[in-house]
Structure 1
Amino acid sequence: MTTKPEDSTKYVEELKEWINRQPHLPKNLGNNLLLRFAHSCYYDLEKTKKTVDMFFTVRGACSDLVTNRDPQSAHMQKVMKIINLSQYGISGNRWLWVWQLNDPGLENYDYISDVKFFFLSTDSNFLVSDNLPEEDIVMMDVKDITLRLLTKINLSVARRLAKYQEEAMPIRLKQIHVVNAPPFIDKIYGALKPFIKKEITEMIHFHPPKSDTLYKYLSKDDLPSNYGGTRPSMAELKEEVIENIARNRDALLDETLWRLVDKKKAESSIDSGSFRTLAID
């Protein structure tokens, strides 16, 4: 297990110096986020630099997903009513990210708004959180999923989102659990699998409704009450996420937050190889 080094400030300062030499990168990363990047890469500075670069590069290619996302807007309020998100620390210095859809028939579900809500909630967490988990675990409740989802997914966005989650987010992803998985989940998974790296697919565990297989990986003391756990319900946990987003609303609405400087202008003065074009469409 890798723990936070005593001289962790050294990593932050070295990253700051490197970022300052990269004209295409913005300079508005807080110390907590820089340390989180280093921690997520097990304090390998070269790997950390690549992850930071990818973080901004993918976000540059996803500008439509990190703008027009005011939590008070009608389209964001609509998605917040049908999706419960939670993110909190659990035993073993781990962090649990939970997504739960509450929209039988997918009458109100909008994939783009869902992805925007994801970016909004994770950005809000990264803005203020100083936690450095040893492991990050994702849990997705697909109880209301139907094959209609295949008509809702935007494959271009799904590809960009997968790239961001796999190579750019400052987390140590170790497990992905899909709970209440219906028999036809293989058809939906099959449509998305080409965008997912093999090492990520190996982390995915499917749990059918009414099964207890989830408890082989997560204690009931770590789970929301919806899943037989002792934690608050997903609806209650979502309120904490919404409150955190509301507190950081001004920063999250800033169009320059974690955005690339003019890429074309910067590329001419960037050291060879320091900026990698992202071909994801």
Structure 2
Amino acid sequence: MDYLRPGESGEGFNMGEKMSPEVQKKVEQLQDWINKQPHLPKDIDDKIARRFLHSCYYDMDRTKTAVELFFRIRDTSPELINHRDPLSPPMQKLLKIVNVAQYEISGKRNIWLWQLNDPGLEQYDYLQDARMFIMLFDAWMLNNTEFAEEDIIVLDTKDISLKFITKFNVSIAKKIAKYQEDAMPIRLKQIHIINAPPFIDKLFGLMKPFLKAEITSMVHFHVPKSETLFKYLNREDLPQDYGGTRPTMVELNKEVVRIVMEQRENFLDENFWKTEKKVKGPKTEVATFRSLDID
């Protein structure tokens, strides 16, 4: 499956808007298919099913493959899905050094921002960051009602040093890369690395073997104090931290945390959105659940 192709377009809209008969039919078809798969969860509501369809441009086979992989990764990655209480000491520790923001910007686009505030990387934990990433995305899926034409990621690497190599986990990186490329129901179009250090090529080299060419072509590096980011994003779409007019990352992060706390009960349930491991489902016209490779 490849639903992250640069240049592919779609029309953004609000999930609260009335679905067209064509979209409604596809949602019903997808839900019917999910309900016939013994291994898939049965608590996927229409708005989640619709988001998967939208991310795959309403191609049913691509959508089914994305759904299968989404749950396969969750099923085989307890280190990423379990122990996600946002009030736990490890999560609170990470939330003190990482600011995350997500909001809609001009052109019916979503922007996702990640900012690390840990000079020396003394507190940073790569696994915990990956676990938080999936938790934040789950909270967003449960809360958000907008469909965007494209999604843009901005990563602030101002506090990243070569010490990051000692924090890096190859196994986790491979799973996160697969999840981001083929399972997340978004339309990823741009990835920006801002405040990039001189050795960013070495750090990027750690991830590059796990990334598809379509993804690496989306990556743009921006050195400190440069204004090259504004070639891609308007100032009014960015936080004040980066020369924009939006609130600061600290303020934007508060809203993200609020949404996460509203969903805390789901994160405490380690069976939330989990598959039925003991049940073998029938073969389908797309890749079977057990055949989806994430290694």
Q: Which runs of 4+ in 1 moved over 6 A?
A: none
Aligned position for 1:47: 62
Per the TM alignment, residue 255 of structure 1 is displaced from its structure 2 partner at its CA by 1.4
Give the conservation status (yes or no) of the 8 Å contact 1:32–1:129. no
User: Which of 10, 34, 43 is the matching residue for 1:2?
Assistant: 10
Matched, 1:266 2:279: yes
Task: Say what the alpha-carbon RMSD is for the aligned residues.
Answer: 1.2
Matching residue's letter, 1:160: K
Matching residue's letter, 2:118: D
Matched, 1:189 2:204: yes
Per the TM alignment, residue 152 of structure 1 is displaced from its structure 2 partner at its CA by 0.2
Per the TM alignment, residue 277 of structure 1 is displaced from its structure 2 partner at its CA by 2.9
Task: Name the count of aligned residue pairs.
Answer: 278
**Counterparts of 1:276 and 1:16, CA distance in 2:** 20
**Counterparts of 2:206 and 2:139, CA distance in 1:** 30
User: Which of 82, 100, 109 is the matching residue for 2:97?
Assistant: 82
Question: What SS does the aligned partner of 2:279 have?
Answer: helix
Aligned position for 1:255: 270
**Counterparts of 2:202 and 2:10, CA distance in 1:** 38
Give the conservation status (yes or no) of the 8 Å contact 1:57–1:277. no
User: Which of 163, 181, 192 is the matching residue for 1:166?
Assistant: 181
**Counterparts of 1:183 and 1:197, CA distance in 2:** 24
User: Which of 116, 124, 134 is the matching residue for 1:119?
Assistant: 134
Per the TM alignment, residue 83 of structure 1 is displaced from its structure 2 partner at its CA by 0.4
Gaps of 5+ in 1: none
Aligned position for 1:280: 294
Aligned position for 1:103: 118
Per the TM alignment, residue 266 of structure 1 is displaced from its structure 2 partner at its CA by 2.1
Matching residue's letter, 1:111: Y
Per the TM alignment, residue 248 of structure 1 is displaced from its structure 2 partner at its CA by 1.0
Per the TM alignment, residue 53 of structure 1 is displaced from its structure 2 partner at its CA by 0.7
Aligned position for 2:261: 246
Matching residue's letter, 1:37: F
Question: What SS does the aligned partner of 2:120 have?
Answer: helix
Which deviates more, 31-40 or 250-259?
A: 250-259
Give the conservation status (yes or no) of the 8 Å contact 1:70–1:253. yes
**Counterparts of 2:105 and 2:229, CA distance in 1:** 15
Gaps of 5+ in 2: 1-8, 14-18
Per the TM alignment, residue 31 of structure 1 is displaced from its structure 2 partner at its CA by 1.3
Written as runs of structure 1 = structure 2, the 5 A alignment for 1:219-230 is 219-230=234-245
Matching residue's letter, 2:141: F
Cα deviation per residue 1:6-36 (whole Å; 9 max; x = unaligned)? 2222121111100011111111112111111
Cα deviation per residue 1:153-195 (whole Å; 9 max; x = unaligned)? 1110000000000000000000000000010000000111101
Matching residue's letter, 1:92: G
Matched, 1:60 2:75: yes
**Counterparts of 1:50 and 1:280, CA distance in 2:** 13
Identity over the aligned pairs, expressed in percent?
A: 51
Aligned position for 2:247: 232
Shift of the 47–279 alpha-carbon distance from structure 1 to 2, 3 Å rule, reads: closer
Give the conservation status (yes or no) of the 8 Å contact 1:175–1:203. yes
TM-score (norm 1): 0.96
Matching residue's letter, 2:279: A
Aligned position for 1:24: 39
**Counterparts of 1:57 and 1:133, CA distance in 2:** 25
Matching residue's letter, 1:17: D
Cα deviation per residue 1:42-73 (whole Å; 9 max; x = unaligned)? 11111111111111111112221111010000
**Counterparts of 1:192 and 1:48, CA distance in 2:** 26
Which deviates more, 6-15 or 179-188?
A: 6-15
Give the conservation status (yes or no) of the 8 Å contact 1:58–1:278. no
Aligned position for 1:11: 26
**Counterparts of 1:55 and 1:279, CA distance in 2:** 12
Matching residue's letter, 1:2: G
Written as runs of structure 1 = structure 2, the 5 A alignment for 1:28-39 is 28-39=43-54
Matching residue's letter, 2:283: D
